[in-house]
C-alpha cells in the first residue's frame, strides 16, 4: 500500500518509537573506545551488568540475587526464552503457554519438539491465569509454564497474589515457572508491577526474564537478562555457551548504566505512552469500541465490534483507513474477537489515525 502511495499508519509494531536516552548512548560510545572491551565477554555476561541487574532487583523489588549464579546476560529476552525451552524441555514434553500470548512462546516450544498446551486466559478474569481451570492431563504432563505480566498483547497487569498462586501451582505440579517481564517498567501512575521472585522461596521454581528493549527504548541493542532459579540459569547458560558468546561488552556496560540510573527517564517515557493510551481510549469509547484501560504496556487490547472477526476488522482498517493493527488471533485462538493497538506513534499521528477511524463506516461492515 505504501508503494501505491498510501500514507499507512502503523499501530501494529510492538516496539517503542522513542529514542534511547542520551546517557546510555554516551556510555556505549565511551566503552566502545576502550580496546579492552573489544574482546569476548564471559559466557555469563560481564560482571558489571550482572551486578547492575542484582542491584536493580534489590532496589526495585527487594529481591536478593547472586550475580554469579542467579543472573545471566541475554542477547535480548526473546533468545533467552526460546533457548530456555530448548534447555529444559525434551522433545515430546509439555509446556503450558498463555493463550492469548506472545507468539514466540508457542513457536519456540514447537521448534524444540515439545508440545504447547493452553494456559487459559480471558477477560472475565482480567487475563490472570485460572489455575483451577487447567486440565488435569495438562497439569500432570507440563514441565514448564510461561507467564507474562504486564502482558503482551492484552496489556493485563496483576497483583503479587497472582504470583503467589503461580508459585504454589508450579510447586504442586513440579514444573518450572518462567515469567516474562518485558514491560516491567512501563506502568502508569502509582501502579508497580511485581516480580515473581518477591514470592517467598520462588527461586525454588521460578526464572524471570527482563529486557532493556521496551523500558529504555533499546530494542535493536539486544540486551536482556534471566534471573532466579540457579539450575535453570545454569542449563540456559550451558546451552548458550555452545551457541553464542554473550553480548558486546560496551552494550552490556551501557545497559548496566541504564539499570543503575534513577529510572526518571523510564517514568517520563511511561507517561508518554499513558497519554497516548488515554487519547486513543477516549476516541474508541466515542466510537463505541470497548477496551479496558490498562495500567501498563504500550498496547490497547480492544474488543472488535460486531459482526467482524479479528482478521476482518484488521483488514477493514487497513483497506479503508490505511491503519495497521494486529488481529487478536495472531496471539492465539483465544484472541478471536479482539485486536491489539500499539501506541507506538506520536500524538499527532495518533490524532490522524483517530480522524480516519471517525470517518470509517465501521457499522457498515458485513463482517467477512
Ligand atoms: C518485545 C517482547 C519480548 C522481546 O524482547 P527482547 O528483549 O527485545 O528480545 C519478550 N516478551 C514480550 C512479551 C515482548 O513483547
Best CA proximity match to 295, nearest among 56, 54, 128, 55: 128
- Residue 78 Cβ inside 6 Å of ligand 1? The answer reads yes
C-alpha of residue 77 to centroid of ligand 1, in Å:
6
pLDDT surpassing 80 at residue 363: no
Residues 217, 286 share a domain: no
Q: What is the pLDDT of residue 365?
A: 52
Which of these three, 259, 274, 304, is where a domain ends? 259
Of 212, 240, 259, the one marking the end of a domain is: 259
Cα(41) to ligand 1 centroid in Å equals 23
Residue 348 near residue 354 (C-beta atoms within 8 A): no
> Are 146 and 223 contained in the same domain?
yes
Is the shortest distance between the CB of 148 and ligand 1 below 6 Å? yes
Cα-to-centroid distance, 346 and ligand 1 (Å): 21
Q: Same domain, yes or no, for 146 and 295?
A: no
122-135 as b/e, with b when 16 or more CB fall inside 10 Å? eeeeebbbebeebe
* Ligand 1 contact, 182 CB (< 6 A): yes
Determine the structural domain holding residue 140 and report its residue range: 22-259
CB 74 within 8 A of CB 80: yes
310 domain-assigned: yes
The atom number, within ligand 1, closest to the CA of 218 reads 8
Is 109 a member of any domain? yes
Q: Say whether the peptide bond before residue 100 is cis (omega within 30 degrees of 0).
A: yes
Angle in degrees, 0-180, between the axes of helices 249-260 and 47-61, rounded to the nearest 10: 20
- pLDDT tens for residues 45-103? 999 999 999 999 999 999 999 999 999 999 999 999 999 999 999 999 999 999 999 99
Contact 46/249 with Cβ under 8 angstroms? Answer: yes
Mean pLDDT of 189-207: 97
Looking at the structure, do residues 13 and 27 belong to the same domain, yes or no? no
Asked if 150 and 183 count as a contact pair (C-beta separation under 8 A), the reply is yes
CA distance 61 to 295: 18
Nearest residue to 192 (alpha-carbon basis) of 295, 58, 339, 341: 295
Helix or strand (DSSP H, E) at 248: none
What's the 22 CA to ligand 1 centre distance in angstroms?
22
Same domain, 108 and 219: yes
pTM of structure? 0.96
Residue tagged 541493542 (cell numbers): 221
* Band (368; pLDDT cuts 50, 70, 90): very low
CA distance 20 to 216: 6
What is the three-class DSSP state of 299? strand
**CA of 223, closest atom in ligand 1:** 7
Least confident window among 13-22, 30-39, 155-164, 348-357: 13-22
Q: C-alpha cell of 345?
A: 506513534
In the DSSP assignment, the letter for residue 18 is S
Amino acid at each position: 500500500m505504501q508503494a501505491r502511495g498510501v500514507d499507512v499508519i502503523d499501530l501494529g509494531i510492538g516496539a517503542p518509537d522513542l529514542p534511547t536516552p542520551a546517557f546510555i548512548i554516551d556510555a556505549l560510545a565511551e566503552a566502545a573506545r576502550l580496546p579492552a572491551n573489544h574482546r569476548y565477554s564471559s559466557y555469563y555476561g560481564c560482571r558489571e551488568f550482572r551486578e547492575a541487574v542484582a542491584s536493580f532487583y534489590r532496589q526495585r523489588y527487594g529481591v536478593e540475587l547472586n550475580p554469579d549464579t542467579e543472573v545471566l546476560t541475554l542477547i535480548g529476552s526473546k533468545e533467552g526464552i526460546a533457548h530456555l525451552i530448548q534447555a529444559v524441555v525434551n522433545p515430546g514434553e509439555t509446556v503450558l503457554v498463555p493463550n492469548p500470548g506472545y507468539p514466540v512462546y508457542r513457536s519456540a516450544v514447537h521448534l524444540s519438539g515439545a508440545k504447547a498446551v493452553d494456559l487459559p486466559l480471558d477477560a472475565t478474569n482480567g487475563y490472570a491465569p485460572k489455575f483451577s481451570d487447567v486440565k488435569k492431563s495438562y497439569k500432570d504432563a507440563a514441565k514448564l509454564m510461561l507467564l507474562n505480566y504486564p502482558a503482551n498483547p492484552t496489556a493485563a497487569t496483576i497483583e503479587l497474589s497472582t504470583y503467589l498462586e503461580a508459585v504454589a501451582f508450579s510447586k504442586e505440579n513440579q514444573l518450572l515457572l518462567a515469567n516474562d517481564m518485558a514491560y516491567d517498567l512501563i506502568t502508569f501512575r502509582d501502579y508497580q508491577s511485581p516480580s515473581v521472585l518477591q514470592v517467598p522461596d520462588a527461586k525454588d521454581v521460578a526464572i524471570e526474564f527482563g529486557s532493556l528493549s521496551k523500558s529504555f527504548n533499546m530494542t535493536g541493542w539486544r540486551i536482556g537478562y534471566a534471573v532466579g532459579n540457579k539450575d535453570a540459569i545454569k542449563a540456559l547458560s550451558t546451552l548458550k555457551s555452545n551457541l553464542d558468546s554473550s553480548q558486546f561488552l560496551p552494550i552490556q556496560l551501557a545497559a548496566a548504566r541504564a539499570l543503575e540510573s534513577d529510572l526518571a527517564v523510564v517514568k517520563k517515557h511511561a507517561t508518554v505512552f499513558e497519554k497516548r493510551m488515554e487519547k486513543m481510549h477516549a476516541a474508541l469509547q466515542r466510537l463505541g469500541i470497548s477496551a479496558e484501560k490498562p495500567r501498563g504496556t504500550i498496547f490497547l487490547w480492544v474488543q472488535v465490534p460486531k459482526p467482524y472477526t479479528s482478521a476482518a476488522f484488521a483488514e477493514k482498517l487497513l483497506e479503508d483507513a490505511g491503519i495497521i493493527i494486529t488481529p487478536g488471533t495472531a496471539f492465539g485462538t483465544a484472541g478471536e474477537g479482539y485486536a491489539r493497538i500499539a501506541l507506538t506513534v506520536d500524538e499527532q499521528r495518533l490524532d490522524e489515525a483517530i480522524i480516519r477511524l471517525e470517518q470509517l463506516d465501521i457499522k457498515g461492515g458485513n463482517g467477512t
